[in-house]
Amino acid sequence: MDHRQVSVFISLLLTLHLSLLGVIATKFTLVNKCDYTVWPGIYSNAGVSPLSTTGFVLQPGQSAPVTAAAGWSGRFWGRTLCSQNSTGKFSCVTGDCGSGKLECSGNGATVATLAEFTLGSVGGLDFFDVSLVDGYNVPMLVAPSGGSGAGNCTATGCVGDLIGACPSELRVMSEDGKQGVACKSACQAFRSPQYCCTGAYLTPKTCKPSSYSRIFKSVCPRAYTYAYDDETSTFTCANADYTITFCPAPSTRN
C-alpha cells in the first residue's frame, strides 16, 4: 500500500470513527484535473489538531478524500514542480512548505492559491474562501455539496489565467527562467505595509485595494485578493462536504 493509499485508508477510518461517536465530520475530496502532477499541502491553524495527512501526491486524474472534525480550521493548496534531491530533501518550485519532506508537518505555503476553511464556528456554519493573499500558482475551485446556507453556499475559486495576467515584477519564473509558473502577491513581493495591511494600514479604512489586487480581482472576482476583501469573497455553508479541484474544466466559471 503506497503513501496515498495509506492516507485514504486512514481518512476513511476516521470518518467511520467520528460517525460512531455521533460527531459531524466534513469530507474534503481533492481532485487533480491538471495535466501535470500536483502535491497537495494541508496546514491546520494554531491550536487545531492536524488532519490525518499534511501532504501527498495526486497524479493527473486522481482524487483523494480527507476528513476533518467539526471545529477544524486551516488551508489546502497545491504544490507543483516538486522533486527530491540526492540527499532526499523534497522541495517544490511553487507552493513549497519548507519541510523538506512530502508531508508539510505544520508548515504553511509560499506563493500558492489557498482554499481556507473554518468549520462550524458561528451558528454551525462553515466559512470558506479561495485566497490569493499569498499569491497564485494553480487554478482552484471549491464546490460545496449537501449543504445549506443563506444565499452564499456556493462554489468559489480562481480558475482564470492569473499567471498570464501577472505583472513582471510579481512573476515567479521556472528554474530555467523560460516561463512564469506562479504570481506573488504585492505583499510578498514588496513587503510594504500598504500592500500587507500592517502598521498604518492595519484597518479596513486604511487598507484599500491596490492596483495589483485589482488585477487579481479582475481575473478571479470570487477570490480573496487582499487582507480585507471579505464582502465578495467569503462564503458560508452548513453541514456540507467540499470538493477542491485543481485545474477545473475550462467551462467552469470563476
Determine the pLDDT at residue 192. 95
Q: How many domains does the chain have?
A: 1
pTM above 0.75, yes or no: yes
For the cut 90, the answer to whether the pLDDT of residue 194 exceeds it is yes
Whether 201 is in a domain gets the answer: no
Reported as a single tens digit per residue, the pLDDT across 157-176 is: 999 889 999 999 999 999 89
Q: Which residues pair with 180 in a beta bridge?
A: 173
Give the Cα separation of 179 and 147 in Å (integer). 40
Whether 7 is in a domain gets the answer: yes
- Could you list the residue range(s) of the whole structural domain that residue 66 is in? 3-159+232-246
Q: Which amino acid type is present at position 4? A: R
CB-based contacts of 49, cutoff 8 Å, min separation 6: 69, 72
Whether 174 is in a domain gets the answer: no
Determine the pLDDT at residue 53. 97
Whether 108 is in a domain gets the answer: yes
Whether 103 is in a domain gets the answer: yes
CATH number at residue 92: 2.60.110.10
Residue 84: Cβ within 10 Å count? 12
Reported as a single tens digit per residue, the pLDDT across 27-69 is: 999 999 999 999 999 999 999 999 999 999 999 999 999 999 9
* Phi, psi (degrees; rounded to nearest 5) at 245: -110, 125
Whether 16 is in a domain gets the answer: yes
